[in-house]
C-alpha cells in the first residue's frame, strides 16, 4: 500500500497535512457513524464539531475550509553577520534562536506523527471506498472530497459501514489529539519566530551602533574633533581642569545618554592635534533663559554635542556635530535647565586642540562658563593600564590599533607626526616608552616575505620593535611563532616583535 507522504507531499508542511487529515477524518466520522446519505453535509459539520469541541454545532453554518494556512518559514537573517559576543543583545538572540530551533524540531517530530496517522487514515478509507478514491481524497482537493466522497461510499454495504464505527471513533479521537498538538506547535512556532526576528533586529541594531562607533573613532583621529586649550573639563570630584592638563588615569564625570545617569569614568587615552582647523564658536545661555549668563565655547566643527528637546527624555536626544548646531538648540547638562545655543560662528585657523578617550560610556562634560555641557569623546579602546597619547594628524587604523595594543600592555605610548627624514611621510611615528617602533600590516600570505620585510626595518626602529598587524593577511600568529629567532638569524637589529591578529 502507498504510504502517506510520497513524492506529491514534498514541500508541504506537517500542519497542512494535519488539516487535511482532520477534514477527511471528519467525513469518515460522518459517513461511518451517522451513515445517512441525504444528511451527509450536516453530518460532516456535526462530526467536525464532535471531534474538536465534543458538542453539536449549528447546522446552518457554512462548511469548513481546507484548514489553517501553513505558517511562514523561520527568519532568514544570518546571525554570523551581526554577532556581538558578550552583549545582552547576543544573549537574547542566542536564547531566541534556541527556542526557534526547538520549535522547528518539535514541528519536524510532529510531521512523523502526521504521516503515521495519515497511513492509518489511508488504510481506513481504502477499506471503505477503495484505494483510488482514498488517494484522491488525501492528495487531491480536500474541500471537494468532503462533499463528493459521500457519493462514492457503497451504501448498500451497510453492515460493512457499521463494522467500521469503532475504528472511526478511535480514528476521530486520534485526529483530535493530533490537531491539538498541531495547534500548539503552530502557536509556539509563530511566537518563537517572532521573538527570533525581534532579537535579530536588536542584534543588527547593536552591531550597526558598534560599527558606527568604530567609524566615528577612526574619523575623530583622522579629522580631529577637539577643544581648544583652556576649555574646562568637569572632573569626577567636581573640580574643573583645563583640557590640556587632563592625563590618562584622571577620572571625569561621564553620562549614559540612554538613562541620563552620571558616573565617574577614567581617561584611557589622550588625543592632541595642532594645525589648521575649522573652528566653531558657540555662545551659550547657561540656564536656557533669556537674559541669563552667557559663555563661549570654541571647538572643532566635528565634535559631537548631545542635543536634547524642550521636554527632554534620554531616548529622544541626538548627537550633533558642533558645525551642525543652530541657535535655539538645547544642550545637556548635569542638572537644572538645559543650556541654549544663542549663536554659532565659524572660522579657520591653526590651533592646538585636545580630546581624550573615556572608559566605557565615552562621554564627558566641558564647561560653558559655570555650566557643564555633555559631549562625546574620541574613542580609542585601550585594553589595559598603559598611557596612550595621539598627536598624529592622520594616523591609520593599523597604527591606532597597534598603539592601543601596546598601551594595553602597560606601556607609555605616543603616536605622533613623523619627524626628521620621515617628516611629511604617509605614516606616523610610534614611540613605546620613548623608543621608536614600527607598524607593519602585510597583505601577502607568504611567511618568508613577511619575515624579510620585518628584517628590513632594523635601521628604522633603531633597536626598538615592530608590531605586525595580521588583519589583512591569511597568515596566522601560529605561523609566526618563531619569528624573533628567524629575524635574529638575519642579523637585523630589532629589539622586540609583537604580533596582533
HSE of 456 in the Cβ direction (CA atoms, 13 Å)? 7
Closest CA to 43 of 54, 61, 29: 29
Query: Does residue 382 belong to any structural domain of this protein?
Result: no
Q: Do the beta carbons of residue 143 and residue 19 sit within 8 Å?
A: no
Q: Verify that 325 and 461 share a domain, yes or no.
A: no
Q: Verify that 359 and 250 share a domain, yes or no.
A: yes
Query: Does residue 270 belong to any structural domain of this protein?
Result: yes
Query: Does residue 341 belong to any structural domain of this protein?
Result: yes
Closest CA to 332 of 359, 361, 362, 312: 312
Which of residues 181, 211, 241 is at a domain's end?
Answer: 211
Query: Does residue 256 belong to any structural domain of this protein?
Result: yes
Which of residues 376, 405, 425 is at a domain's end?
Answer: 376
pLDDT digits (tens, 9 = 90+) for 280-303: 999 999 876 777 789 999 999 989
Q: Which residue has the higher pLDDT, 18 or 394?
A: 394
Place of cell 531566541: 96
Measure the CA–CA gap between 199 and 193, rounded to whole angstroms: 10
Q: How many domains does the chain have?
A: 3
Q: Verify that 24 and 91 share a domain, yes or no.
A: yes
Which of residues 211, 245, 261 is at a domain's end?
Answer: 211
Q: Verify that 459 and 370 share a domain, yes or no.
A: no
Q: Verify that 248 and 355 share a domain, yes or no.
A: yes
Band (216; pLDDT cuts 50, 70, 90): low
Band (133; pLDDT cuts 50, 70, 90): low
Q: Which residue has the higher pLDDT, 482 or 31?
A: 482
Which positions ≥6 away from 330 have C-beta within 8 Å?
Answer: 288, 307, 308, 309, 310, 312, 338, 339, 340, 341
The 3 state secondary structure assigned to 438-450 is: EEECCCCCCHHHH
Q: Verify that 292 and 161 share a domain, yes or no.
A: no
**For residues 466-484, average pLDDT:** 90
Q: Which three cell numbers, joined as nine digits, stand for 425?
A: 611621510
pLDDT digits (tens, 9 = 90+) for 256-269: 887 888 999 999 88
In this predicted structure, what is the pLDDT of residue 363? 92
Q: Verify that 79 and 125 share a domain, yes or no.
A: yes
Q: What domain range includes position 166? A: 7-211
| Cα dihedral value 8, 9, 10, 15, nearest 10 | 160
Q: Verify that 420 and 496 share a domain, yes or no.
A: yes
Query: Does residue 255 belong to any structural domain of this protein?
Result: yes
Calculate the CA 71 to chain-centre distance.
25
Q: Verify that 253 and 194 share a domain, yes or no.
A: no
Measure the CA–CA gap between 207 and 210, rounded to whole angstroms: 5
Closest CA to 409 of 496, 475, 470: 496
pLDDT digits (tens, 9 = 90+) for 70-124: 434 444 444 445 666 667 888 888 899 999 999 888 887 877 776 776 667 666 6
Query: Does residue 390 belong to any structural domain of this protein?
Result: no
Query: Does residue 381 belong to any structural domain of this protein?
Result: no
HSE of 119 in the Cβ direction (CA atoms, 13 Å)? 10
pLDDT greater than 60 at residue 373 = yes
Q: Verify that 74 and 189 share a domain, yes or no.
A: yes
HSE of 259 in the Cβ direction (CA atoms, 13 Å)? 7
Closest CA to 436 of 498, 379, 378, 494: 494
CATH of the domain at 232: 2.170.16.10
Phi, psi of 134 (to 5 degrees): -65, -45
Q: Verify that 304 and 439 share a domain, yes or no.
A: no
Number of H helices, E strands in the chain: 11, 18
pLDDT digits (tens, 9 = 90+) for 326-369: 999 999 998 878 899 999 999 999 888 899 989 888 899 999 99
Query: Does residue 217 belong to any structural domain of this protein?
Result: no
CATH of the domain at 427: 3.40.1350.120
Which positions ≥6 away from 455 have C-beta within 8 Å?
Answer: 487, 490, 492, 494
Q: Verify that 246 and 318 share a domain, yes or no.
A: yes
Which residue(s) pair with 11 in the sheet? none
Report the residue count for the chain. 501
Neighbours of 187 (CB within 10 A): 12
In this predicted structure, what is the pLDDT of residue 108? 78
Which positions ≥6 away from 110 have C-beta within 8 Å?
Answer: 14, 18, 181, 182, 185
pLDDT digits (tens, 9 = 90+) for 21-38: 554 555 455 444 433 344
pLDDT greater than 50 at residue 305 = yes
Which residue(s) pair with 373 in the sheet? 366
Amino acid at each position: 500500500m502507498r504510504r502517506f507522504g510520497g513524492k506529491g507531499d514534498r514541500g508541504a508542511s506537517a500542519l497542512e497535512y494535519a488539516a487535511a487529515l482532520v477534514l477527511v477524518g471528519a467525513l469518515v466520522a460522518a459517513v461511518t457513524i451517522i451513515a445517512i446519505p441525504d444528511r451527509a453535509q450536516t453530518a460532516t459539520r456535526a462530526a467536525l464539531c464532535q471531534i474538536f469541541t465534543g458538542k453539536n454545532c449549528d447546522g446552518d453554518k457554512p462548511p469548513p475550509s481546507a484548514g489553517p494556512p501553513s505558517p511562514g518559514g523561520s527568519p532568514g537573517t544570518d546571525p554570523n553577520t551581526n554577532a556581538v559576543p558578550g552583549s545582552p543583545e547576543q544573549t537574547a538572540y542566542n536564547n531566541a534562536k534556541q527556542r526557534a530551533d526547538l520549535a522547528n524540531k518539535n514541528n519536524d517530530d510532529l510531521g512523523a506523527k502526521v504521516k503515521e496517522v495519515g497511513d492509518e487514515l489511508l488504510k481506513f478509507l481504502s477499506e471503505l471506498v477503495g484505494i483510488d478514491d482514498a488517494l484522491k481524497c488525501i492528495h487531491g482537493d480536500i474541500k471537494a472530497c468532503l462533499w463528493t466522497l459521500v457519493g462514492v461510499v457503497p451504501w448498500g454495504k451497510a453492515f460493512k459501514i457499521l463494522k467500521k464505527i469503532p475504528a472511526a471513533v478511535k480514528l476521530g479521537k486520534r485526529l483530535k489529539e493530533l490537531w491539538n498538538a498541531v495547534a500548539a506547535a503552530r502557536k509556539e512556532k509563530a511566537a518563537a519566530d517572532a521573538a527570533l526576528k525581534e532579537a535579530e533586529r536588536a542584534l543588527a541594531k547593536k552591531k550597526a551602533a558598534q560599527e558606527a562607533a568604530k567609524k566615528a573613532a577612526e574619523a575623530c583621529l583622522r579629522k580631529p574633533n577637539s577643544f581648544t586649550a583652556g576649555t574646562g573639563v568637569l572632573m569626577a570630584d567636581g573640580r574643573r581642569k583645563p583640557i590640556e592638563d587632563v592625563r590618562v588615569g584622571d577620572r571625569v564625570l561621564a553620562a549614559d545618554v540612554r538613562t541620563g545617569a552620571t558616573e565617574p569614568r577614567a581617561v584611557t587615552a589622550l588625543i592632541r592635534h595642532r594645525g589648521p582647523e575649522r573652528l566653531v564658536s558657540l555662545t551659550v545661555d547657561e540656564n536656557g533663559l533669556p537674559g541669563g549668563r552667557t559663555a563661549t565655547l570654541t571647538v572643532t566643527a566635528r565634535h559631537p554635542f548631545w542635543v536634547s528637546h524642550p521636554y527632554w527624555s534620554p531616548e529622544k536626544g541626538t548627537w550633533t556635530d558642533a558645525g551642525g548646531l543652530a541657535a535655539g538648540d538645547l544642550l545637556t547638562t548635569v542638572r537644572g535647565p538645559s543650556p541654549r545655543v544663542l549663536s554659532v560662528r565659524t572660522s579657520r585657523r591653526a590651533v592646538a586642540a585636545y580630546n581624550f578617550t573615556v572608559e566605557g560610556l565615552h562621554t564627558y562634560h566641558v564647561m560653558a562658563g559655570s555650566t557643564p555641557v555633555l559631549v562625546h569623546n574620541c574613542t580609542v579602546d585601550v585594553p589595559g593600564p598603559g598611557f596612550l597619547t595621539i598627536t598624529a594628524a592622520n594616523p591609520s587604523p593599523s597604527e591606532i590599533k597597534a598603539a592601543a595594543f601596546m598601551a594595553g600592555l602597560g606601556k607609555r605610548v605616543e603616536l605622533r607626526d613623523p619627524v626628521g627624514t620621515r617628516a611629511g611621510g604617509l605614516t606616523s611615528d610610534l614611540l613605546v616608552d620613548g623608543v621608536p617602533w614600527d607598524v607593519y600590516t602585510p597583505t601577502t600570505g607568504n611567511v618568508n616575505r613577511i619575515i624579510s620585510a620585518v628584517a628590513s626595518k632594523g635601521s628604522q626602529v633603531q633597536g626598538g620593535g615592530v608590531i605586525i598587524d595580521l588583519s589583512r593577511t591569511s597568515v596566522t600568529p601560529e605561523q609566526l611563532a618563531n619569528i624573533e629567532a628567524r629575524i635574529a638569524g638575519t642579523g637585523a637589529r630589532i629589539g622586540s616583535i609583537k604580533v596582533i591578529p
